[in-house]
Amino acid sequence: MAITVVGSVAYDSIETPAGRRERCLGGAATHFALAASFFTDVRVIAVVGEDFGPEQEAVFHARNIDTRGIERAPGKSFFWEGSYLDNLNEAKTRQTDLNVFATFEPKIPDAYRDSEFLFLANIDPVLQRRVREAMPDVKLVAGDTMNYWIKDHKPALLEVLKGLDILLINDTEARMLAGNNNLVLAARGVMAMGPSSLVIKHGEYGASLFHKSDPKDKSAERRTFRAPALPLEEVVDPTGAGDSFAGGFFGYLASQPELTPAAYRAAMFYGSVMGSFAVERFGTERIAELSRKEIDARFLQFRELTHLD
Amino acid sequence: MAITVVGSVAYDSIETPAGRRERCLGGAATHFALAASFFTDVRVIAVVGEDFGPEQEAVFHARNIDTRGIERAPGKSFFWEGSYLDNLNEAKTRQTDLNVFATFEPKIPDAYRDSEFLFLANIDPVLQRRVREAMPDVKLVAGDTMNYWIKDHKPALLEVLKGLDILLINDTEARMLAGNNNLVLAARGVMAMGPSSLVIKHGEYGASLFHKSDPKDKSAERRTFRAPALPLEEVVDPTGAGDSFAGGFFGYLASQPELTPAAYRAAMFYGSVMGSFAVERFGTERIAELSRKEIDARFLQFRELTHLD
C-alpha cells in the first residue's frame, strides 16, 4: 500500500570527523522516502526552491518515488548546516534557513488521495496537522518530531499527537515530551497523548517499540520489543539515520497484508537495517545506491546479532 | 563446574530516589556469588572484619555458597557509601573505607583448588593478579574492573588483562581503557590487551559480547551478540547490577558441558536477567530471595523482547 510523506526536502552542509559535504541533498522527507521506497510506493509532499534541479529530482525518480507533490516556489530550498565534530550522536546546528518552507501551504495531489499510509516527517506541527486533516481516511498515520517543536511549539504538537497511530522519537525527546526520566514511564506518558504505539530510538543501542496497554488484550504478543543497532566501526554521517529508520519501519509495515505483532517486530528490524546503511556514507549516498539483496543480508545479520539460536 | 570468586565482601550505605539503606550487605564478590549460585557451586575469597556476623554469613549459606575462603581479620569490613540521587546510571561515591582490605593477602583454601572457573571481581588488580597466579590450572578466567583502576593503576591492570579469557566492563570503562570513543574499535583495542572475549555493559540498553577475530575461524557463530536489558518502570537500587550480570553470565557458562557459541549467547541473556532482578530492591534483597522459576520466566520474557518469532 502506498505511503504519502510530508516533510522537508532540503540541502544540507554537513561536517563530521569523516569529512565535509556542501549542499548535499537532504531533508527528513527525502531520507524517509528513499528508505521506504525499497518496500512500497512512496509519494512526497514538500516544497523546494529554484535551486532544486533535475539532478536532485533524479535521485527520487531512480527509486520510483512520486514527486508530483513537491511544489516549486520562487526562492531557495530549505537549507541546514550542522556539525558532528564534538558528538556523533547529536548534531550541532550551525544554520537553518527555512526559505521556501516559511510560507509553505501543503497541497495534496489527487493522485495521492488513495494512499493508505501517511507519514508526517519532522516539520512544523502546524503543517503536519494540516496534512493529517486533509487525509482523514488513511489507514495508519505515523510521525516524527524534534526537541525544538517539543520545547517551543508544544500546544501545536499535542494536536498532532492526537491524530497519530505511531510516533517515532529518540530517548531525549521522549523524556522531554513526557517530563519523565524513566523510559517506560515516559513511553506511557507519551502514548497517553495520542499514539497507540511508540518507537523510541536509542542511537547506537537500537530502538524500543512500546504499545499502549489494552485492558481487553493482555496477550504477550503486544509486549515491548527491542531491536538492536549494528555495532559499527565507522559512522561517516549520522544525518538522516532516524528518518531512514522511520522509512524502513513504516515502509515495511505498508508492504504487509496485515499489521500483526510479528509484522511490527520485523518492521523494527528493517528500521534498524536502513538506519545502519544511512550512516555509512554522507547524505543520501548510501541508501540511493542500495539493493534489496544488501537489505536482506543485513536483516539476517541483525537476527544473528540478537537471536539465541 | 565450580567457580572461585575473589573480590570485596562489604557493607554499603546507599541512597537512591527510592530511599536509603544503612550498612546493608554488599561488595562485588557478594553480588556475583549470589547471582552465580543459581547455576553452579560458588566459592568466595575475601576478607571481612569483626563486624561481619552470622546474619551476613547466613545470606551466603542460604544459597550454598562456600565461605571458607572468607578470612576474618581484626578491624572493620570494607565500607562504601554512595548516592544515585543525581543519576541512576552512575553512583556518586561519598565514602570508601578499605579497612581490612587495605592489608589483604588472599589465600586459596585447598578445597577451592579444583575450581575450573575463576572470577576476579572488581578489586585492586594487584590482588586479582595474585589470585590468578595462585590458580594457574583453571579452565576459564573472567574479570571485572572499574574506572579508578583504569585511570590510576593501569600498569597493574594490564598485567591482569593478560591472564583473562573474558573481561566484563561498561561502555565508559571500555572507551577509557582503549582510548577510543567508537565502541567496536574500543572493543578491539581492549581485546588486544589480553581477553579473547569482551562483554560491554550498556546499562539500561543491555550488553554486547565481542570476540577476538580469529583468522582461522571466520564462522558467523563467533559474531558479536547483543542482549537487551528489561525496560523497567522503577530502579530501586542499581548497586550490584553489574556484578549480578557477571554472576548470571559466568555462572551459566560454568554450568554448561561445552562452551559453545550458543552457550555464550544464553549466558548473555542470563546475565541480563540477573541484573534486572538485582535493581528491583536494595542491596542483595531481591537476589537472596529469588527462585530458579522466576529466573526462567524472566529469561523467556527477554526472549520475547528480542526475538522475531
Q: Mean pLDDT in chain B?
A: 95
CB contacts of B269 in chain A (<8 Å) are 308
pLDDT (tens digit per residue) in B225-261: 999 999 999 899 999 999 999 999 999 999 999 999 9
Query: What pTM does this model have?
Result: 0.95
On whether any CB of chain A is under 8 Å from the CB of B182, the answer is yes
On whether any CB of chain B is under 8 Å from the CB of A222, the answer is no
Cβ-defined contact of A231 to B303 (cutoff 8 Å): no
pLDDT value at residue B221: 46
CB contacts of A228 in chain B (<8 Å) are 226, 228, 306
Q: What percentage of chain A exceeds 90 in pLDDT?
A: 94
CB contacts of A185 in chain B (<8 Å) are 233
Please say if the pLDDT value at position A222 is more than 90: no
The minimum CA-CA distance between A1 and chain B, rounded to whole Å, is 23
For testing the chain B interface, which of A185, A264, A306 should be mutated: the one with the most B CBs within 10 Å? Answer: A306
Please say if the pLDDT value at position A220 is more than 60: no
Please say if the pLDDT value at position B97 is more than 80: yes
Q: Mean pLDDT in chain A?
A: 95
* Residue B25 near residue B59, CB atoms below 8 Å: yes
The Cβ of residue B152 has, within 10 Å, a number of other Cβ atoms equal to 9
Q: Are strands B92-97 and B117-120 parallel, antiparallel or unpaired?
A: unpaired
Amino acid letter, A38: F
Amino acid letter, A56: Q
The minimum CA-CA distance between A104 and chain B, rounded to whole Å, is 40
Residue B252: exposure state from Cβ atoms within 10 A (0-12, 13-18, ≥19): buried
Q: List the single residue in A183, A232, A308 with the smallest CB-CB distance to B303.
A: A308
Residue A281: exposure state from Cβ atoms within 10 A (0-12, 13-18, ≥19): middle
SS (H, E, C) chain B: CCEEEECCCEEEEEEECCEEEEEEEECHHHHHHHHHCCCCCEEEEEEECCCCCHHHHHHHHCCCCEEEEEEECCCCCEEEEEECCCCCCCCEEEEEECHHHHHCCCCCCHHHCCCCEEEECCCCHHHHHHHHHHCCCCCEEEEECCHHHHHHCHHHHHHHHHCCCEEEEEHHHHHHHHCCCCHHHHHHHHHCCCCCEEEEECHHHCEEEEECCECCECCHHHCCEEECCCCCCCCCCCCCHHHHHHHHHHHHHHCCCCCCHHHHHHHHHHHHHHHHHHCCCCCCHHHHCCCHHHHHHHHHHHHHHHCCC
B228 vs A218: CA distance, rounded Å: 22
The minimum CA-CA distance between A16 and chain B, rounded to whole Å, is 14
A173 vs A183: CA distance, rounded Å: 11
Tell which residue, A33, A36, A252, A9, has the closest CA to residue A123: A9
Q: Quickly state the pLDDT bin for A216 (edges 50, 70, 90).
A: low
More confident residue, B88 or B6: B6
Please compute the mean of the pLDDT values over residues A162-174 and round it to a whole number. 96
Residues 134-173 of B with CB under 8 A from A: none
Tell which residue, A18, A41, A124, A15, has the closest CA to residue A78: A124
On whether any CB of chain A is under 8 Å from the CB of B217, the answer is no
Hey, what's the cell of A234?
A: 565507522
pLDDT (tens digit per residue) in B13-69: 999 999 999 999 999 999 999 999 999 999 999 999 999 999 999 999 999 999 999
pLDDT value at residue A219: 55
Q: Are strands B207-211 and B197-201 parallel, antiparallel or unpaired?
A: antiparallel
pLDDT value at residue A104: 95
Hey, what's the cell of B113?
A: 583448588
Cβ-defined contact of B234 to A205 (cutoff 8 Å): no
pLDDT value at residue B223: 84
The minimum CA-CA distance between A252 and chain B, rounded to whole Å, is 14
pLDDT (tens digit per residue) in B161-212: 999 999 999 999 999 999 999 999 999 999 999 999 999 999 999 999 999 9
B267 vs B287: CA distance, rounded Å: 17
Tell which residue, B109, B115, B119, B165, has the closest CA to residue B138: B115
Q: List the single residue in B202, B208, B308 with the smallest CB-CB distance to A265.
A: B308
Backbone φ and ψ for B282, nearest 5 degrees, come out as -75, 145
Tell which residue, A114, A117, A174, A116, has the closest CA to residue A144: A174
> What ipTM was assigned to the predicted interfaces of this complex?
0.92
Q: Which residues contact B142 (CB under 8 A, 6 or more apart)?
A: B117, B118, B119, B120, B164, B165, B166, B167, B168, B246, B249, B250
The minimum CA-CA distance between A140 and chain B, rounded to whole Å, is 22
Q: Considering Cα of B28, then B29, then B31, then B32, what sign does the dihedral take?
A: positive
pLDDT value at residue B76: 98
* Residue A26 near residue A239, CB atoms below 8 Å: yes
Q: List the single residue in A206, A223, A305 with the smallest CB-CB distance to B304.
A: A223
CB contacts of A209 in chain B (<8 Å) are none
pLDDT value at residue A221: 46
A290 vs A128: CA distance, rounded Å: 29
pLDDT value at residue B219: 55
Q: Considering Cα of A114, then A56, then A85, then A270, what sign does the dihedral take?
A: positive
